Amino acid sequence: MNFKKIATHTACGVAALAVATLALPRHVSIERTAVIDTAPEAVIELAASNTGYQVFNPYKDLDPNLQVEMFGPSSGIGSGFSFQSKDGVGQQTVASVTADQVVFDLDLGPLGQPTQAISAVAIDGATEVTWSMEMDLGMNPVFRVMGLFMDGMLGPNFELGLANIADVAA
C-alpha cells in the first residue's frame, strides 16, 4: 500500500470518527440525592451564601490548595466566588433562590457554562437534598466524548458535598 492510500484512509477514518461523536448526547445531566436530618431552610441558607457554600464545598476536601475568592453580596442572587484548583479555574454565582432551591451559574471558561442546583424538600421529618448539574457540550467532539464519563467523574463529588451538608447542617 502506498503512502497516499494510507493517508487517505487515515483521513477518512478520522473524519468518520469526528462525525460519529456528533451522534453522542449534547446535554449532560448529573444528579445525586440524600436524605438529611435537618430543615430545608438550613440547607437553602447555606447554599445561597458564598461563605455558607464553602462550609460544605466538596472541592475543598478534594484539593487542599483550592483558592477561593468571594464576590457580590454575602447571600442571595449575585453572591458567588471564583476559584482556582488543581483541576482548573472558574466562577460560581447564585442565579436564583426559592424556598426549596438555589440555582448557580458556573463559568468554567473554555470548559463551558453549566448550571448547578441544590434543592431541599421536607420529607418525613427530614430533608431530601438533591444536587444536580446540567451542561450543554455543544458541537465539540472531545467534550461529547467526555460527556459519557461526566456522571462518574462528578457524581462522587456531589455525594461528598451532600455528606458534608449532612455533617454541618445536622
What pLDDT is recorded for position 87? 84
Whether residue 9 has pLDDT greater than 70: no
| Residue 31 contacts residue 12 (beta carbons within 8 Å) | no
Residues composing the chain: 170
What pLDDT is recorded for position 23? 77
What pLDDT is recorded for position 38? 95
What pLDDT is recorded for position 20? 66
Stretch 75-92: mean pLDDT: 96
Whether residue 3 has pLDDT greater than 90: no
What pLDDT is recorded for position 65? 96
Q: Which three cell numbers stand for residue 160?
A: 461528598
Stretch 149-161: mean pLDDT: 95
Stretch 55-79: mean pLDDT: 97
Q: Which residues contact 138 (CB under 8 A, 6 or more apart)?
A: 26, 112
- State the Cα–Cα distance between residues 75 and 96, nearest whole angstrom: 11
The model's pLDDT over 90-112, given as tens digits with 9 standing for 90+, comes to 999 999 999 999 999 999 998 89
| Residue 137 contacts residue 143 (beta carbons within 8 Å) | yes
**Full set of structural domains in the chain with CATH:** 26-169 (3.30.530.20)
- Written as one string, the DSSP assignment of 31-86 is EEEEEESS-HHHHHHHHTBHHHHHHH-HHHHH-TT-EEEEES-SBSTT-EEEEEET
The model's pLDDT over 29-60, given as tens digits with 9 standing for 90+, comes to 999 999 999 999 999 999 999 999 999 999 99
What pLDDT is recorded for position 140? 87
The model's pLDDT over 132-143, given as tens digits with 9 standing for 90+, comes to 999 999 988 988
What pLDDT is recorded for position 81? 98
